[in-house]
A and B are shown apart, each in its own frame.
Chain A
């Protein structure tokens, strides 16, 4: 009997300690909430990488991330190396899964997002096309559908980067590039380029390509107005601003729109030709000739070949060898 009583006491004591402890911690948590909430909101807002809801669907990832804590950077790097082995083997499901894991572990470096989006939008359709006998053997509708499907995948992927890098122009820029290179949709590209040019630190070439996309989507007047407004703001001493190219495009658009001399940009000091030439002398927008040098000046390539950037030449893009669409990393 005394033994049972002692056991009861032991259980009672233990239950009492647990109950009292839980109650104390609960009350403490409740009391600290008003203090903790604003601090946590501030910490969370400045650490977008903590927002892991998007990856909670993937089994166990949240736990892994919580465990690894401060080792995010190096683990993400090693996971990206692993991703590249899948990429080399053209393993679509694993490459995609690993890219999602890498960006879940460390969403801060843009390198992961940009390369991931490019793998999805450019490489994966080429792999699938190869499995089906190559682009050459695919009906155009199937090819278009294939590219559109993976372009959407890449766009959705890079879209997620937007929540971690809201002010990084490279997010809409990548979407714009996919729009024009994969979907061949200049109107959609123009929409994203509009976002790019409105962002801080956006490169000069984005302004020029934005106008070009407007033009290609049939908004010549809008493209002209944009370049007219842009031209006086460009620094003359910065080669990247390419004022001569912008001026040239303004002139071409003036010809194309058949603007009367009074509405045209007055002749500039750098020009050797008059502001007005007869429309018959220049039919349409010359994308071949002088534009080609622009390609060497399209801005940072993030270590990737420039063909990953929207080509300002229709001809080059149209004749691009689809079988070699893959970009190198």
Chain B
């Protein structure tokens, strides 16, 4: 990649990121996510079974996943189609900008937005957990004889894995946007693909038990076509490393898995966008 190419990608990424920050919908989404994390302490009243810290973590990570997924899909679709609908894509691509540079720049801008969102949420959750853990340590010092229960390093490491999950969702949306004609179609299809990826493990674990060979083959193919998003559900293992912990090699494996799928879907987006009439 030449220096000029890098400059062009950086410029597109920066503009995409700044445009994202100006969008009201995205701001509202972030505010809602922040509000939900901060209200975790209130929702604790409805907790029946989990310990307080685990409940706050569950609730906080749930908020991050929920709003992060929406943000990944909607922001990617909106920011991509805004260029097409406003005809600015024509202006950009009329200049010496390759289509792959346009896709890469757009994606990096969105990934920067997702990074800010994820780290902001993780930071808030860490603050919330630290505050509650401190209060519990004062009240029940015996339960914390061996030190803090929450691994804050693990929390931020998990934040990186969660960011990669959002990165894959954004890359999938970018791929769908690269050949679809409308924003709405892209958003709906991306949500369906997201659900499939969330449930992919059912097919992956269950195809072997299916009797019908044709159906079995289909399920097997389907399981291989989509990434397994449940691989990223390791919050409890990383944040509460008590009896069970995630091996460092596995954490790195999940990291690599995320990176490979991000590159793959972006490459497919470039492939589809190359033949697209704008």
- A13-68 contacts to B (CB < 8 Å): 13-14, 17, 20-22, 24-26, 28-30, 32-33, 35-36, 38-40, 42-44, 46-47, 50, 52-53, 56, 62-63, 66-68
Considering residues B201, B224, B231, B261, which has the most beta carbons from chain A within 10 angstroms of its beta carbon?
B224
Pick from B63-71, B81-89, B126-134 the stretch touching chain A: B63-71
Which applies to chain A's interface (DSSP): helix, strand, loop or mixed?
Answer: helix
- From B267, which residue of chain A is reached at the shortest CB distance? A24
Do the beta carbons of A35 and B256 come within 8 Å of each other?
A: yes
- Known: A74-B59, A80-B48, A111-B49. Is A35-B247 also a contact (CB below 8 A)? no
Once the chains bind, are B257 and A66 in contact (CB under 8 Å)? no
B224: which of A33, A63, A109 is its contact (CB, 8 Å)?
A: A33
With a CB–CB cut-off of 8 A, which chain A residues contact B221? 26
**Selected contact of A39 from candidates B179, B235, B257, CB within 8 Å:** B257
A38 / chain B contacts, CB cutoff of 8 Å: 250, 253
Do the beta carbons of A36 and B271 come within 8 Å of each other? no
B66, B256, B272: the one within 8 Å of A21 (CB): B272
Docked complex Cα distance between A280 and B215 (Å): 75
CA distance A56 to B247 in the complex (A): 30
Q: Does B199 contact A (CB under 8 A)?
A: yes
Instruction: Tell whether B175 is near chain A: CB-to-CB under 8 Å.
Output: yes
Contact A17–B271 (Cβ < 8 Å): yes
- Tell whether, in the assembled complex, residue A36 and residue B264 are in contact, meaning their CB atoms are under 8 Å apart: no
Assuming the contacts A43-B246, A70-B61, A70-B66, asked whether A32 and B48 have C-beta atoms less than 8 A apart, the reply is: no
B49 to A46, Cβ gap below 8 A? no
Among A46, A106, A109, the residue within 8 A (CB) of B237 is: A46
Contact with A along B47-62 (1 / 0, CB 8 A): 1111000110011011
List B contacts of A110 (CB < 8 A).
49
Judge whether A43 and B271 touch: CB under 8 Å. Answer: no
Cβ 8 A contact of B257, one of A24, A35, A106: A35
Q: Is the interface of B mostly helix, strand, loop or mixed?
A: helix
Q: Are B246 and A24 in contact (CB-based, < 8 A)? A: no
Please give me the residue from chain A that is nearest to B256 by CB atom.
A35
| 26 A-B contacts (beta carbon < 8 Å) | A25-B264, A26-B224, A28-B260, A29-B224, A29-B226, A30-B224, A35-B256, A39-B250, A39-B253, A40-B231, A43-B250, A44-B201, A44-B230, A46-B234, A66-B199, A69-B65, A69-B233, A70-B59, A70-B64, A73-B47, A74-B46, A74-B58, A77-B47, A78-B46, A108-B50, A111-B48
**Chain B residues engaging chain A, CB cutoff 8 angstroms:** 43, 46-50, 54-55, 58-59, 61-66, 175, 179, 195, 198-199, 201-202, 204-206, 221, 223-226, 228, 230-231, 233-237, 244, 246-247, 250, 253-254, 256-257, 260-261, 264, 267-268, 271-272, 275
Residues of A with Cβ closer than 8 Å to B? 13-14, 17, 20-22, 24-26, 28-30, 32-33, 35-36, 38-40, 42-44, 46-47, 50, 52-53, 56, 62-63, 66-74, 76-78, 80-81, 106, 108-112
